[in-house]
């Protein structure tokens, strides 16, 4: 029977420990635990079923002073009116598994010009939906249904 030299075995053990294949017991504190990530699946569910109730982050109550000042009463009313439609529009994307949050994008919106919403999905996909996107979607639905 042929034996393996001790120095060769030592090199293998050192290599395995250094690469993390073999540890010395206990958790690895150098990196935080990560959640298991499921493979990305494209959703083909009915868009309305993909919108979580109360996902719209409406401009209401205290804490919205800057937004209310920029957009005015009518603008805020329009933002809130279109927000569920933005969530539904984002849910139409097969890349979005379930809509969790919809809100106004301060960076992409311009008062008096266009409202743009961010819509975050459970699978960490983000859609941006503009007022124009919503109008075009409604127009195409009206044209396809003969109305």
- Smallest Cα–Cα separation from 90: which of 117, 60, 109? 117
* pLDDT score at 46: 86
Query: What tens digit of pLDDT does each residue of 60-106 get?
Result: 999 999 999 999 999 999 999 999 999 999 999 999 999 999 999 99
The residue that leads in pLDDT, 55 or 3, is 55
Q: Kindly indicate the confidence band of residue 138, based on its pLDDT and cuts at 50, 70 and 90.
A: confident
Instruction: Tell me the C-alpha to C-alpha distance, in Å, between residue 74 and each of 108, 117, 133, 135.
Output: 19, 17, 20, 18
* pLDDT score at 55: 92
Enumerate the domain spans of the chain.
47-144
Across the chain, what does the average pLDDT equal?
A: 78
Q: What is the rounded distance in angstroms from the CA atom of residue 121 to the CA atom of residue 106? A: 19
Query: What tens digit of pLDDT does each residue of 106-123 get?
Result: 999 999 999 999 999 999
* pLDDT score at 28: 41
Q: What are the structure tokens assigned to 143, written together?
A: 């044209």
Query: What tens digit of pLDDT does each residue of 22-63 get?
Result: 444 444 444 444 444 454 455 556 889 999 889 999 999 999
């Amino acid at each position: 029977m042929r034996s393996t030299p001790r120095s060769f075995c030592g090199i293998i053990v050192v290599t395995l420990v250094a690469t993390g294949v073999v540890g010395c017991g206990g958790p690895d504190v150098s990196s935080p635990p990560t959640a298991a990530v499921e493979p990305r699946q494209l959703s083909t569910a009915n868009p309305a079923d993909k919108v979580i109730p109360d996902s719209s982050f409406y401009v209401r109550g205290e804490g919205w002073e800057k937004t209310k000042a920029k957009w005015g009463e009518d603008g805020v009313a329009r933002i809130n009116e279109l927000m569920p439609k933005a969530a539904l529009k984002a849910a139409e994307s097969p890349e979005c598994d379930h809509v969790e949050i919809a809100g106004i994008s301060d960076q992409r919106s311009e008062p008096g010009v266009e409202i743009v919403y961010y819509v975050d999905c459970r699978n960490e996909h983000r859609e941006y939906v503009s007022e124009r996107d919503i109008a075009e979607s409604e127009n195409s639905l009206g044209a396809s249904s003969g109305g």
